Amino acid sequence: MIKTLIIIFSIFFSNLTLAVDSSSHKQNISKDIKDIIDPSGAVALNIMVSTLSSLKELKKQNKDSKENVETLIRLKLLPNLATGVAAKIALDQHWDGLNIQQRQFFQHYISESLIQDYIGILASYKKLDSVQISVDPNIRRKDNKAIVKLNISINSDSKPFSITLKLIRLNGWNVYDVVFSGVSIVKNYQAQFNSYIKRKGVDALIEKSKRKLEKLK
């Protein structure tokens, strides 16, 4: 009887060890290939390339009016933005004290402001045939977030530059912040919002932001 129990326990612990080793192996594989099976870099690159390709076609057909470029951005970029995450970071410690309507407003404000920023950026691209975009291989990734740097070259005469996209994995990879020349768009909003709220309060900031949105139209 004792001998039988020893055999059973030996088999049990042997299987348990194999299961642990197998689980650990799967975790190691997952860590090694996660950027292949779930590529944040490819998503970031595709967002930019797809948008520029559509803009190139608009210019080719002489249909690159401000209205059409705005429509392009709403179709190509807006679905890839995590405006809820961006708004929460931008409002910082004030976020938890906001009601649903206030949170929705700031999400709307940030998305509309970003659209206008992108219109200005895309409108400055004159020679789209020579634009080259590549992903920096040093992608930083932790849990459901990733930081991807894109290297952009407009033409041989201009100096290459880079932008950094911060992404979060929701249903798919979505951009929640953009860093250009070392400046984070969301952190910039955070500094502005924080300063204004401390001086005049949330309601005053919303009214000011509404007036700014009206001017953008």
Helix (H, G, I), strand (E, B) or coil at 64: coil
Q: How far apart are CA 148 and CA 135, in angstroms?
A: 7
Task: Name the pTM for this structure.
Answer: 0.77
Whether the pLDDT of residue 14 is over 90: the answer is no
CB 58 within 8 A of CB 66: no
Q: How far apart are CA 76 and CA 58, in angstroms?
A: 14
Q: How far apart are CA 10 and CA 210, in angstroms?
A: 71
Spatial CB neighbours of 156, under 8 Å, sequence gap ≥ 6: 130
Q: How far apart are CA 165 and CA 44, in angstroms?
A: 7
pLDDT tens-digit map of 205-214: 999 999 998 8
Question: Where residue 11 falls among pLDDT bands split at 50, 70, 90?
Answer: very low
For residues 28-38, give the mean pLDDT: 59
- DSSP secondary structure, 111-124, as one string: HHHHHHHHHHHHHT
Question: Where residue 31 falls among pLDDT bands split at 50, 70, 90?
Answer: very low
| 40-216 is classed CATH 3.40.50.2000 | no
pLDDT tens-digit map of 43-101: 888 888 888 888 888 888 988 888 888 898 889 888 899 999 999 999 999 999 999 99
In the numeric block, the tokens 């970029």 are attached to 77
The domain limits of the chain are 1-37, 40-216
H helix or E strand, kind and range, residue 163 = strand 161-169
pLDDT tens-digit map of 163-207: 899 999 988 899 999 888 888 999 999 999 999 999 999 999 999
Spatial CB neighbours of 153, under 8 Å, sequence gap ≥ 6: 130, 131, 132, 133, 160
What local confidence, expressed as pLDDT, does residue 190 receive? 96
H helix or E strand, kind and range, residue 179 = strand 173-180
